[in-house]
């Protein structure tokens, strides 16, 4: 994901990539790493030194949740706006970053998903929740994804639960433990991890005599670039933290 987004940013006209940080490929030029020509920016394993040396306006983070929180705190304290695509960050941690952003007057965007189509899928699911009493979420990702359920699934469940009363799931005798999936915000969430998948999710709503399925499929990581560029271009206009790309798309205006 990081390489794909870096390639896209390097090819964007109004973006200048000034630094790159990773634990591997240290010392390698990011242009060469992403299949482009040499860009003169080499990978470092020290985020603090890169931020201090390059003084960027925005830091893009696709790491893991434990690292992303500390990365964001340091960036915000340095006046750098984080745009975070890392999933697995808790609501408590998001609130902590929000308070720090307001204190430092620095914008931040945390987006469980940068795909515009996925954002619309979540938005449509939120609207459908007003009319259906029950829903379950099935999300599928590649087998290298670390966290389960996905951040998109959790965000979807939060949006649905905000529009409906929490309904207790019917009791089922699981002959195999976990067959009914995890329960979050009153609904079952099922995670599938398979090679060949990228990012897919469907939300199935049920009521007497009918089912409604809202589904989105990401077939290439290229789908995330337009949303990432939107967040990068908007984040410095913010005076605090925004959680979810839908808040930058004007869906709730």
Q: Which residues are catalytic?
A: 141, 145
Residues 55, 59, 64, 69: is their CA dihedral positive or negative?
Answer: positive
Instruction: Show Cβ contacts of residue 241 under 8 Å, excluding neighbours closer than 6 positions.
Output: 94, 97, 98, 101, 102, 107, 108, 109, 110
Helix, strand, or coil (residue 99): helix
Alpha helices by DSSP H, listed for the chain, are 2-10, 30-33, 47-54, 65-77, 91-104, 116-128, 151-161, 225-234
Would you state the structure tokens that stand for residue 200, as one six-digit string?
Answer: 């897919």
| Bridge partner residues of 243 (DSSP) | 110
Rounded CA separation 213/218 (Å): 17
The answer to whether the peptide bond before residue 227 is cis (omega within 30 degrees of 0) is: no
Enumerate residues 6+ apart whose C-beta is below 8 A from 213.
202, 203, 204, 205
Asked whether the beta carbons of 59 and 86 are under 8 A apart, the reply is: no
């Amino acid at each position: 994901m990081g390489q794909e987004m870096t390639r896209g940013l390097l090819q964007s006209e109004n973006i200048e990539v000034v630094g790159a940080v990773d634990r591997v490929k240290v010392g390698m030029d990011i242009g060469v790493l992403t299949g482009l020509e040499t860009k003169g920016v080499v990978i470092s394993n020290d985020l603090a030194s890169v931020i201090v040396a390059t003084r960027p306006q925005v830091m893009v983070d696709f790491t893991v949740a434990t690292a992303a929180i500390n990365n964001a705190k340091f960036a915000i304290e340095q006046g750098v706006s984080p745009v975070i695509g890392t999933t697995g960050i808790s609501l408590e941690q998001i609130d902590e970053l929000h308070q720090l952003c307001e204190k430092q007057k620095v914008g931040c965007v945390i987006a469980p998903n940068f795909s515009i189509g996925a954002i619309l899928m979540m938005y449509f699911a939120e609207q459908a929740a007003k009319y259906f009493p029950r829903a379950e979420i099935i999300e599928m990702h590649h087998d290298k994804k670390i966290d389960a359920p996905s951040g998109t699934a959790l965000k979807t469940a939060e949006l649905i639960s905000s529009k409906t009363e929490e309904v207790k799931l019917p009791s089922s005798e699981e002959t195999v433990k976990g067959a009914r999936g995890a329960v979050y915000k009153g609904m079952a969430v099922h995670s599938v991890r398979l090679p060949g998948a990228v990012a897919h999710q469907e939300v199935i709503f049920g009521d007497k005599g009918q089912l409604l399925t809202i589904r989105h499929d990401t077939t290439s990581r290229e789908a995330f670039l337009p949303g990432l560029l939107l967040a990068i271009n908007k984040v410095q206009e913010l005076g605090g933290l925004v959680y979810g790309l839908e808040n930058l798309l004007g869906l709730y205006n």
